[in-house]
Structure 1
Amino acid sequence: MLKIQQLRVSYGGIQALRGIDLEVPDGKIVTLIGANGAGKSTTLRTISGLVKAESGSIQWNGEELLGKPIDKIISAGIAMSPEGRRVFADLTVLENLKLGAYLRKDKAEIEKDLKWVYELFPRLEERNWQSAGTLSGGEQQMLAVGRALMSRPKLMMLDEPSLGLAPLVVQDIFSIIREINRQGVTVLLIEQNANMALKIADLAYVLETGNITMSGTGAELLANEKIKEAYLGKHR
């Protein structure tokens, strides 16, 4: 389980996170919804060691992550597929995937995981020789997720996986998130498409200007009138 307590993060005097508490139980899909600038990406980046916290605690299976180097956090079983995909455009699909396993030494298991990623994303296998920069947006998103899976994570963090994608591709990405979870990977999802995120989430948190303002099951938040009005477009 991932357990965050009283996490505070500031950028140049501006408080991005104001003492948030949240839990990501093993085997669940947990989503964090909120407007742009609410602190969602900051939360993921702090968990993965890219951003330093002012104070608080991030515990992964009872072990404190704050202050640990990024490679140790990845080795502990936490991976992130970043916002904007961030694939290595000049490298092939296969090279991008193998970079996801750069901390691993178990070559036979890496090959098994490569086959697993190709089963999840057959299009990546078809295009494994192609430069990542020539892929469509949806294919690049699949590659970003596949690359993160190559570290064999126990917790997968996804930052805006549907951003800029066509609705049909979004459906595919969310089906794959469900499948990854069914195969035993815990998921922490940040997503502006609150409707889709809440539909697949076991647990959900609402983040507003650095504070958690609401939490519950995905179904509870999906039915909540305030959430409908603020995030699901009921007022339109």
Structure 2
Amino acid sequence: MLEINNLVVAYGGIQALKGINLSVEQGKIVALIGANGAGKSTTLKSIVGLVKPVSGSIVYEGKDLLKVSTKDMVRHGLTLVPEGRKIFPDLTVLENLNIGAFCRSDTKDINRDRDWVYELFPILKERNWQLAGTLSGGEQQMLAVGRALMSRPRLLMMDEPSLGLAPLIVKNIFSIIREIHEQQGVTILLIEQNANVSLKIADKGYVIETGMIKLEGTGQELLVNEEVKKAYLGEAH
């Protein structure tokens, strides 16, 4: 579904990505884990066109993403939940959700998907007319995910969904991510520092360090990998 080949990205002559290769198979959850500054967000920014690579290719369902506009990406089913939520604080919950459907025209389908979002996140229905900026951090993350779902994505990319959230909220968010995947068959690319929660739900995982993919395998394989356990799971052996 998504293929990244030999991707090189540089900032001011310093390579942030050093020829990485990564693939996301349709219908799977894939996690890209690594420390802060390892190149996770740069990878994501390259996919959505915020950063122009020096070389390499990014292909989504046969389309060269380096030649596709952001709006066309959404039309083709590729959607991002950005780091830090990036909700519209001065708009209501409902208005934020409606913005997620900006590329769609069928009102009946849009209303049906909004009802589904409210089923996933009942608190959003309760807060329907509340300004998004007054929501808690966890509620804003739920709104960011719900807004992305309103575009009816086939590939949902999530940048640090656990960032700044309490452990109980993180557990709830990741439970819902799994539910989205299972109910709708949405393919998911997770960009995360929290290796434990992301690898537990991932079909496949990649470990990125200093702009290079160091390890890859199934989520379960990486969870028991000694290098991963020592570096990312707080286990010394």
Structure 2 length as normaliser, TM-score? Answer: 0.97
SS of match in other structure, 1:35 = coil
- Post-superposition shift, 1:140? 0.2
Provide structure 2 residue ranges, at least 5 long, that are not aligned to the other structure. Answer: none
Q: Which residue of 2 aligns with 1:115?
A: 115
Counterpart CA distance in 2 for 1:185 and 1:171 is 19
For residues 123 and 80 of structure 2, the distance between their equivalents in structure 1, rounded to whole angstroms, comes to 21
Per the TM alignment, residue 234 of structure 1 is displaced from its structure 2 partner at its CA by 0.6
The one-letter amino acid paired with 1:81 is V
Write out aligned runs for 1:149-188 (5 A): 149-182=149-182, 183-188=184-189
SS in 2 for 1:190: strand
Alpha-carbon distance in structure 2 between the residues aligned to 1:63 and 1:154: 14
Divergent runs of 4+, >4 A: none
Does the CA contact (< 8 Å) of 1:32 and 1:189 recur in 2? yes
**Structure 2 equivalent of residue 145 of structure 1:** 145
Contact 1:159–1:191 (CA under 8 A) maintained in structure 2: yes
How far apart are residue 67 of structure 1 and its match? 2.3
> How many pairs does the alignment contain?
236
Equivalent residue, structure 2, for 1:227? 228
Aligned-partner SS, 1:66: helix
Residue aligning to 1:208: 209
Q: Residues of 2 paired with 1:117 and 1:152: CA distance?
A: 11
Q: Counterpart of 1:231 in structure 2: which amino acid?
A: Y
* Deviation larger for 202-211 or 96-105: 96-105
Task: Report the Cα offset of residue 102 of structure 1.
Answer: 0.9
CA distance in 2, matches of 1:156, 1:104: 17
* Paired residue type of 2:126: E
Question: Which shifted more, 123-132 or 99-108?
Answer: 99-108
Deviation for aligned residue 1:235: 2.7
SS at match of 2:95: helix
**Structure 1 residues without counterparts, runs of 5 or longer:** none
- What is aligned with 1:194? 195
CA offset digits 1:26-69 (Å, max 9, x no partner):
11000000010011011111111222122111111122111211
**Pair 1:41-2:38 in alignment:** no
Aligned-partner SS, 1:221: helix
Kindly report the root-mean-square deviation, in angstroms, between the aligned alpha carbons of the 2 structures.
1.1
Aligned residue in 1 for 2:69: 69
Aligned runs of 1:81-96 on 2, under 5 Å?
81-96=81-96
Contact between 1:6 and 1:20, CA under 8 Å: does it hold in 2?
yes
Please tell me whether the aligned partners of residues 157 and 187 of structure 1 are also in contact (alpha carbons under 8 angstroms): yes
The answer on whether the counterparts of 1:31 and 1:191 sit within 8 Å (CA) in structure 2 is yes
Q: Quick check: 148-157 or 4-13, which moved more? A: 4-13
- Residue by residue over 1:179-234, the C-alpha shift from the partner in whole angstroms, topping out at 9 and shown as x without a partner, is 11112100000111111111110000000111001100000000011110010001
CA contact (8 A) 1:28 1:202 kept: yes
- Does the CA contact (< 8 Å) of 1:50 and 1:70 recur in 2? no
| DSSP 3-state at the match of 1:146 | helix
Partner of 1:217: 218
Amino acid at match of 1:180: I
